[in-house]
């Protein structure tokens, strides 16, 4: 048989610019701008540096968890226990605070609790091979359950004044500590998911975990690390949230797991795994924060806001499918 | 089937042993009257677990059941306030619940959206709708008619009507699941969606009916719940969807679909019901309940996984024996 | 004789591909018609049209001379067409009887399923085909051959007049295949029209009465098996005359690279030992399920052996994970390309660099240009046909996906490459390319293990052949003893011919 001349296969079919133009992130960007403009028309108070700064608190803590959750969902797993980790981490911080610990210890205990919770999830999913959705429904009850056992209907109050910085402090002018943290984490997670070998392993696992294992990727180790990261980020969010509220109740951050998942899915991450980007999640976080703030300016109650978010979650997935004729 | 049967026997044994241990210290717990109370108290969980089990059989999950229950319960209370006769209310809650379930079902069937996303969304929408309808106001006992409140509590042959409803529903669905084409289709769709198509079963439509059943049961339970506790408000049965999923997982319903029996799900529900009712008896704070059911879920799923681990091909002769 | 089923002018397209264009097919009662064609010829599409999964854009379907339309799988089943598939897709959690009757179970009072009638019916049908199975047994507990029996009983239960057997012997043992042939005879005797799809020519000549050939979605020809030769069929299939020619090789065998001794696994294989040399192609032959893939996957670190040692260049290596295998220089091209080989959803270049991420990154961060360069180098060596390197690998044909998987492994610069059924299910053109490339790699000094169930391929490519049976090595044939007969006898457990 005569072999045909070897063909040159080009690197890229379309230029990166053309690709970006047709991407989900571009749609999100347009929506974000529209919401921004809408808000300025809705309320004369919106275009005020301090008000805008306030608005960021609506999403910074959830977004930090959403970055780790995005990677986890890209890898084909999910963690529904994140809000419960916040509750347990906050309770642990309250305990050491009552025992007289200083701010550094409180913070470390908060993040450390998140790490341990993440390790528990990671062990159950990656170590024992259990389905993550059921495992984290279980740990969701377990972690918050422990917080309830410790606190019952009580609350921890009286955090040291210096502790308030994490959730209430400003680094410079209207730029809050939380906002800075959000930006730093966004950059780190962007680099890890889109530019590192670890991120590539995450995508490979999300698309085909068996083939990834057959390609020499340590699948279970990657999964374990992803759960650790989600736990740690929940711990960090617990520090910020506890600091912002100045108290710990076992019902703290109730329902956040849904908001975080909504943020991730709205950001264009495929709930079945395999695709999604950090810029998408950043834009989704900003949109959700600004919509919440806009509703707040209109005095719409939070629960109505959640109806809107629920509809948004279904809508963003349904509309493209409807347009494509399924 | 033998594996499944043994798992249910094991669960029943676990329940009996824990009841026995409690009885040794607190004999009052096993008095028939108290056991009937525990059963009656668990009835809503059992009703929802039947629906959830069917949804899980088809490889889906329904996280909106508790919100559905709260919304239909509120509608029932409002209808009662508007003077609508009870039989009409009963029909209305089942239909409304079914419609709310159908919304989930259509989104899963026609648009192919993963059920977890759909029901996460509708869960917040349904609950939010209660707030929008009532502006957060409660419907209290004195705003409900006596007949409305009395039905689930009427005692018939020594058991409240609510218990009888649960028993009847369990029996009906035991027959539906084993003896009707639709019932077997639920198993087929979850067990092997690909093959189900070749057997002439429409996967999406079967999932749709699972959601409708789950929704209708949630709607009916919504009335029972609101009537029994004589109060309706936005946060009725908040977080109850997790107990329902927990009952199924503990009962050995495979989260990947296609495997499990109604008896397993019912035992799972009873297990959670026994724990919930036993805690105050043995003097443990009810705040322990959440952590205990979480632990039970994890243990159950670990147990399920250990039983269904693939065994390889068993090529060697000595291994096959 | 009039055909039971007559298809005329059937066309079906998918975005970008015309899967079938105006094909015809006739199936006669009491006759087996073999459908022959390369992969991509449209065989699986026509099965889906026949079973109502796909609706053709053009063409007519006639049953007993009356035109019908299969709007759904249900409609096709009601019209008496049923298919038994490659991996006999049934329901593990349901009982044997339920698997037979699902969708059309006998009804009793109140329209409920009559379980007694169902059970009795199952017993009768299983008896008819001579299958000794308990109707109450859970299907998941049965082997593949028994599952075929259940599928066939199911076909009988819907009183099917047309039975499609889609590669039914692909995963069966010798004995099971024989039983299947008998079953086909039973079905024929009952007057069923049978469409038999197979890649194996010996099989087709053995059981088919008629043939129909498709090529590239088009009808090429049909006729009686008695009037055709193997060569003519092959020519119709490929549109040109192809003798299966294997590349010439200079058998330049070097020093040992890989030495395996006493490899054992509790349930899958025992006492496996062999030596592989530089520049050698070592064939592993055996029936499907003889444990060859299991041994290879243990060498590659997917499973861990309970006993035994593996040496590379006289250095003992313990391999507990795929990454350790890659580090040791052993790579594995799996049989199940779709599930274990290609990561569909990722672009071609990312598939190629997946095991070599360390080589194209600094401090854990990827260098895009180096990634593309590496992918370009190896895909070009394999003459990959693709639109661009950032194209999703899932969009490529089977043959090109296989090239990507092989390129991925060559990029790690391995010492030993294990190819598990490397040409299974790929077209003849790609097959020849893979064979030529294997010869080239061996000439360059790579040590190659090739697991294959195709006797011509094993004999044509290997320097030596190890035969496995029931998890053990039963023979090693070299030189003059490398004949089809020697392989078949050893694999089947027969005494070695004098």
A260-270 pLDDT, tens digit each = 998 999 899 99
CA C281 from centre of chain: 22
Q: Does any domain span residue A8?
A: no
By C-alpha distance, which of C31, C295, C291, C289 is closest to C175? Answer: C289
The two most distant CA atoms of chain A are separated, in Å, by 83
Length of chain A counted residue by residue: 326
What is the per-residue pLDDT across A233-268, written as a single tens digit (0 to 9) for each? Answer: 999 999 999 999 999 999 999 889 888 998 999 899
Helices and strands in chain C, H and E counts: 16, 22
Give the structural domain span for B141: 45-238
Q: Report the range of poorest mean pLDDT among B47-61, C311-325, C391-405.
A: C391-405
Residue that is written with structure tokens 């299947």 in the block: C180
Q: What is the mean pLDDT of residues C463-467?
A: 94
Mean pLDDT is highest, among A44-48, B35-39, C50-54, C143-147, for: B35-39
Sign of CA dihedral C395, C401, C407, C410: positive
Q: Which residues pair with A196 in a beta bridge?
A: C365
**Considering its fold, how many domains does chain B have in total?**
1
CA A137 from centre of chain: 17
Residue A77: give its domain's CATH number.
1.10.3470.10
By C-alpha distance, which of C241, C245, C220 is closest to C231? Answer: C241
B316: nearest CB among C74, C89, C267: C267
Q: Is C428 in contact with C250 (CB distance < 8 Å)?
A: no
Is it the case that residue A326 has pLDDT exceeding 60? Answer: no
| Domain extents in chain C | 5-238, 256-492
What is the SS3 assignment for A167?
helix
- Comparison of pLDDT for B24 and A42, the residue scoring more: B24
Q: Does any domain span residue A23?
A: no
> What is residue A125's DSSP assignment?
I
Given this model, what pLDDT does residue C241 score? 43
Given this model, what pLDDT does residue B78 score? 95
Where do runs of H (alpha helix) occur along A174-277?
A: 177-195, 197-207, 209-213, 219-245, 256-266
Q: Does any domain span residue B272?
A: no
Question: Does A326 lie at the interface with B, CB-CB under 8 angstroms?
Answer: yes
Give the structural domain span for A238: 51-323
Report the CATH fold assignment for C256-492.
Rossmann fold (3.40.50)
Q: Is A84 in contact with A230 (CB distance < 8 Å)?
A: no
Q: What is the mean pLDDT of residues A111-136?
A: 95
Contacts of B175 in chain C (CB under 8 A): 112
Residues 6+ apart with CB under 8 A from C274: C259, C260, C282, C466, C473, C476
A149: nearest CB among B120, B255, B287: B287
Whether domain C5-238 has CATH 3.40.50.300:
yes
Q: Which residues pair with C26 in a beta bridge?
A: C6
Q: Which chains have 3 or more CB–CB distances shorter than 8 Å to chain A?
A: B, C
What is the SS3 assignment for A293?
helix
What is the Cα–Cα distance from A216 to C398, expressed in whole angstroms?
22
Contacts of B302 in chain A (CB under 8 A): 124, 128, 130
Confidence tier at C242 by pLDDT (50, 70, 90): very low
**Considering its fold, how many domains does chain A have in total?**
1
| Other CB atoms within 10 Å distance of the CB of residue C201 | 14
Confidence tier at A218 by pLDDT (50, 70, 90): very high
Given this model, what pLDDT does residue B158 score? 85
Q: What is the mean pLDDT of residues C468-487?
A: 88
What is the Cα–Cα distance from C128 to C182, expressed in whole angstroms?
12
Q: Is C24 in contact with C47 (CB distance < 8 Å)?
A: no
What is the SS3 assignment for C286?
coil
Residues 6+ apart with CB under 8 A from A130: A124, B298, B301, B302, B305
Q: What is the mean pLDDT of residues C213-230?
A: 89
For the record, the structure tokens of A248 come out as: 């710990």
Length of chain B counted residue by residue: 321
C339: nearest CB among A200, A211, A274: A211
What is the SS3 assignment for B154?
coil
What is the Cα–Cα distance from C97 to A225, expressed in whole angstroms?
46
The two most distant CA atoms of chain C are separated, in Å, by 77
By C-alpha distance, which of B45, B70, B59, B60 is closest to B247? Answer: B45
Q: Does any domain span residue A31?
A: no
Q: What is the CA radius of gyration of chain A?
A: 21
Given this model, what pLDDT does residue A267 score? 92
What is the Cα–Cα distance from B13 to A122, expressed in whole angstroms?
31
Contacts of A202 in chain C (CB under 8 A): none
Distances from the Cα of C449 to the Cα of A245, B45, C462, angstroms = 65, 58, 9
Using CA atoms of A36, A42, A48, A54 in order, give the dihedral in degrees to the nearest 10. -70
CA distance to partner chain C, nearest, from residue A12 (Å): 5
Number of Cα atoms under 13 Å in the Cβ half of residue B118: 24
Is it the case that residue A175 has pLDDT exceeding 80? Answer: yes
Length of chain C counted residue by residue: 498
Q: What share of chain A is helix, strand, coil (3-state, %, to 5)?
A: 70, 5, 25
| Other CB atoms within 10 Å distance of the CB of residue A313 | 26
Distances from the Cα of B300 to the Cα of B48, B246, B261, angstroms = 19, 9, 15
Q: Does any domain span residue B179?
A: yes
Q: Is A215 in contact with C344 (CB distance < 8 Å)?
A: no
The reply to whether domains C5-238 and C256-492 share a CATH topology is yes
Given this model, what pLDDT does residue B318 score? 65
Q: Is B150 in contact with B161 (CB distance < 8 Å)?
A: no
Question: Does C437 lie at the interface with A, CB-CB under 8 angstroms?
Answer: no
> What is residue C41's DSSP assignment?
S
Contacts of C90 in chain B (CB under 8 A): 192, 195
Is it the case that residue A2 has pLDDT exceeding 50? Answer: no
What is the Cα–Cα distance from B290 to A81, expressed in whole angstroms?
13
> Taking CB atoms and an 8 Å cut-off, how many pairs form between chains B and C?
102
Q: Is A247 in contact with A156 (CB distance < 8 Å)?
A: yes
**For each of chain B's 321 residues, which pLDDT tens digit applies?**
444 456 788 889 989 998 998 888 888 888 888 999 999 999 999 999 999 999 999 999 999 999 999 999 999 999 999 999 999 999 999 999 999 999 999 999 999 888 988 998 999 999 999 999 998 899 999 999 999 999 888 888 889 999 999 999 999 999 999 889 899 999 999 988 888 887 778 999 999 999 999 999 999 999 999 999 999 999 899 889 989 999 999 998 988 888 899 999 999 999 999 988 988 888 888 889 889 889 988 998 888 777 766 656 666 766 544
Q: What are phi and psi of C82, to 5 degrees?
A: -140, 150
By C-alpha distance, which of A19, A7, A4 is closest to C386? Answer: A7
What is the per-residue pLDDT across C189-206, written as a single tens digit (0 to 9) for each? Answer: 888 999 998 867 778 888
Q: What are phi and psi of B281, to 5 degrees?
A: -65, -45
What is the Cα–Cα distance from C231 to C101, expressed in whole angstroms?
43
CA distance to partner chain A, nearest, from residue B22 (Å): 21
Question: Does C386 lie at the interface with A, CB-CB under 8 angstroms?
Answer: yes
By C-alpha distance, which of C379, C432, C3, C435 is closest to C238? Answer: C432
Q: Does any domain span residue A25?
A: no
Is it the case that residue C87 has pLDDT exceeding 60? Answer: no
Q: What share of chain C is helix, strand, coil (3-state, %, to 5)?
A: 40, 25, 35
What is the per-residue pLDDT across C412-451, written as a single tens digit (0 to 9) for each? Answer: 999 999 999 988 767 667 788 889 889 999 999 999 999 9
| Residue from A201, A215, A218, A325 to probe the interface with C (highest C Cβ count within 10 Å) | A215
For the record, the structure tokens of C43 come out as: 């065989």
């Amino acid at each position: 048989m005569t072999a045909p001349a070897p063909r040159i296969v080009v690197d890229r079919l379309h230029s990166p610019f053309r690709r970006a133009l047709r991407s989900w992130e571009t749609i999100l960007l347009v929506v974000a701008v529209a919401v921004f403009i809408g808000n300025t028309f809705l309320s004369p108070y919106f275009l005020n540096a301090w008000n805008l700064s306030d608005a960021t608190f609506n999403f910074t803590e959830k977004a930090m968890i959403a970055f780790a959750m995005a990677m986890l969902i890209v890898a084909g797993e999910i963690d529904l226990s994140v809000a419960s980790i916040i509750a347990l981490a906050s309770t642990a911080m309250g305990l050491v605070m009552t025992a007289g610990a200083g701010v550094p210890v409180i913070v470390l205990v908060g993040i450390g609790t998140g790490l341990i919770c993440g390790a528990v999830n990671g062990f159950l999913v990656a170590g024992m091979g259990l389905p993550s959705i059921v495992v984290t429904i279980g740990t969701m009850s377990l972690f918050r359950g422990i917080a309830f056992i410790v606190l019952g209907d009580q609350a921890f109050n009286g955090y040291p004044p210096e502790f308030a910085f994490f959730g209430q402090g400003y680094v410079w002018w209207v730029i809050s500590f939380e906002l800075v943290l959000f930006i730093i984490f966004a950059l780190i997670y962007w680099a890890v998911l889109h530019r590192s070998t670890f991120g590539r392993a995450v995508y490979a696992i999300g698309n085909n975990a068996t083939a990834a294992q057959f390609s020499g990727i340590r699948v279970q180790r990657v999964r374990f690390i992803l759960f650790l990261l989600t736990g740690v980020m929940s711990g960090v969010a617990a520090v910020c949230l506890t600091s912002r509220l100045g108290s710990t109740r076992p019902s703290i951050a109730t329902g956040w797991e849904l908001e975080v998942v909504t943020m991730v899915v709205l950001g264009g991450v495929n709930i079945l795994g395999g695709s999604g980007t950090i810029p998408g999640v950043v834009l989704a976080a900003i949109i959700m924060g600004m919509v919440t703030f806009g509703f707040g300016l209109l005095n719409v109650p939070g629960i109505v806001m959640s109806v809107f978010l629920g509809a948004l979650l279904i809508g963003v997935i349904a509309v493209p499918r409807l347009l494509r004729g399924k | 089937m033998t594996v499944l049967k043994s798992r249910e026997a094991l669960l029943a044994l676990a329940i009996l042993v824990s009841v026995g241990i409690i009885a040794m210290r607190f004999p009052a717990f096993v008095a028939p009257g108290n056991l009937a109370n525990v059963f009656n108290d668990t009835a809503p969980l059992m009703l929802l677990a039947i629906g959830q089990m069917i949804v899980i059989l088809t490889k889906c999950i329904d996280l909106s059941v508790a919100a559905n229950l709260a919304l239909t319960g509120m509608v029932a209370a409002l209808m009662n306030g508007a003077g609508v006769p009870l039989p009409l209310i009963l029909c209305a809650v089942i239909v409304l619940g079914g419609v709310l379930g159908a919304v989930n079902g259509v989104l899963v069937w026609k648009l192919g959206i993963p059920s977890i996303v759909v029901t996460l969304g509708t869960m917040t929408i349904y609950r939010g709708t209660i707030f929008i309808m009532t502006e957060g106001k409660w419907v209290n006992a004195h705003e409900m008619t006596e007949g409305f409140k009395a039905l689930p509590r009427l005692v018939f042959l020594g058991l409240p009507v609510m218990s009888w409803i649960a028993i009847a529903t369990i029996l009906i669905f035991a027959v539906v699941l084993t003896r009707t084409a639709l019932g077997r289709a639920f198993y087929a769709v979850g067990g092997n969606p690909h093959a189900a198509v070749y057997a002439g079963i429409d996967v999406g439509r079967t999932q749709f009916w699972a959601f409708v059943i789950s929704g209708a049961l949630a709607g009916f339970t919504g009335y029972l719940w609101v009537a029994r506790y004589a109060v309706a408000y936005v946060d009725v049965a908040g977080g109850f969807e997790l107990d329902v999923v927990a009952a199924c997982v503990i009962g050995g319903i495979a989260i990947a679909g296609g495997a499990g029996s109604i008896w397993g799900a019912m035992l799972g529900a009873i297990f959670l019901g026994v724990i919930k009712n036993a805690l105050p008896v043995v003097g443990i704070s009810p705040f322990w309940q959440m952590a205990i059911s979480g632990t039970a879920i994890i243990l159950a799923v670990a147990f399920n996984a250990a039983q269904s681990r693939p065994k390889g091909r068993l090529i060697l002769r000595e291994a096959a024996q | 004789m009039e055909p039971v089923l007559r298809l005329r002018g059937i066309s079906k397209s998918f975005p970008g591909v015309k899967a079938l264009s105006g094909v015809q097919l006739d199936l006669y009662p009491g006759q087996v018609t073999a459908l022959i064609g390369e992969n991509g010829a449209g065989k699986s599409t026509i099965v889906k049209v026949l079973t109502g999964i796909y609706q053709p854009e053009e063409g007519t379907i006639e049953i007993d001379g009356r035109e019908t339309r299969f709007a759904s799988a249900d409609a096709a089943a009601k019209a008496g067409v049923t298919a038994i598939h490659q991996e006999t897709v049934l329901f593990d959690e349901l009982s044997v009887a339920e698997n037979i009757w699902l969708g059309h179970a006998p009804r009793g009072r109140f329209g409920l399923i009559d379980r007694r009638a169902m059970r009795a019916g199952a017993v009768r049908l299983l008896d008819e085909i001579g299958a000794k199975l308990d109707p109450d047994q859970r299907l998941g507990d049965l082997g593949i051959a028994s599952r075929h029996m259940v599928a066939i009983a199911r076909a009988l239960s819907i009183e099917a007049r047309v039975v499609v057997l889609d590669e039914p012997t692909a995963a069966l043992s010798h004995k099971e295949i024989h039983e299947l042939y008998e079953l086909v005879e039973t079905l024929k005797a009952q007057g069923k029209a049978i469409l038999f799809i197979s890649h194996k020519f010996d099989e087709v000549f053995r059981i088919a009465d008629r043939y129909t050939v498709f090529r590239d979605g088009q009808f090429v020809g049909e006729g009686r098996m008695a009037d055709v030769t193997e060569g003519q069929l092959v020519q119709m299939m490929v549109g040109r005359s192809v003798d299966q020619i294997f590349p010439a090789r200079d058998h330049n065998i070097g020093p040992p690279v890989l030495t395996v001794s006493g490899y054992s696994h509790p349930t899958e294989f025992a006492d496996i030992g062999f030596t592989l040399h530089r520049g050698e192609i070592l064939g592993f032959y055996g029936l499907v399920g003889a444990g060859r893939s299991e041994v290879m996957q243990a060498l590659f670190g997917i499973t861990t052996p309970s006993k035994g040692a593996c040496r590379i260049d006289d250095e003992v290596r313990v391999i507990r994970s795929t990454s350790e295998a890659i580090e040791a220089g052993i790579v594995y091209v799996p049989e199940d390309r779709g599930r274990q080989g290609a990561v569909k959803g990722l672009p071609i270049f990312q598939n190629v660099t997946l095991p070599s991420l360390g080589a194209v990154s600094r401090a854990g961060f990827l260098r895009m240009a180096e990634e593309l360069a590496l992918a370009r180098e190896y895909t070009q060596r394999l003459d990959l046909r693709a639109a661009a390197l950032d194209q999703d690998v899932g969009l490529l044909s089977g043959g090109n996906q296989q090239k990507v998987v092989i390129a991925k492994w060559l990029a790690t610069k391995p010492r030993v490459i294990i190819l598990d059924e490397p040409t299974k299910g790929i077209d003849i053109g790609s097959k020849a390319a893979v064979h030529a490339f294997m010869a080239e790699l061996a000439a360059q000094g790579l040590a190659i293990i090739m697991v294959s169930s195709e006797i011509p391929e094993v004999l044509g490519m290997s320097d030596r052949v190890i035969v496995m049976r029931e998890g053990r090595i039963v023979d090693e044939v070299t030189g003059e003893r490398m004949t089809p007969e020697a392989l078949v006898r050893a694999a089947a457990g027969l005494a070695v011919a004098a």
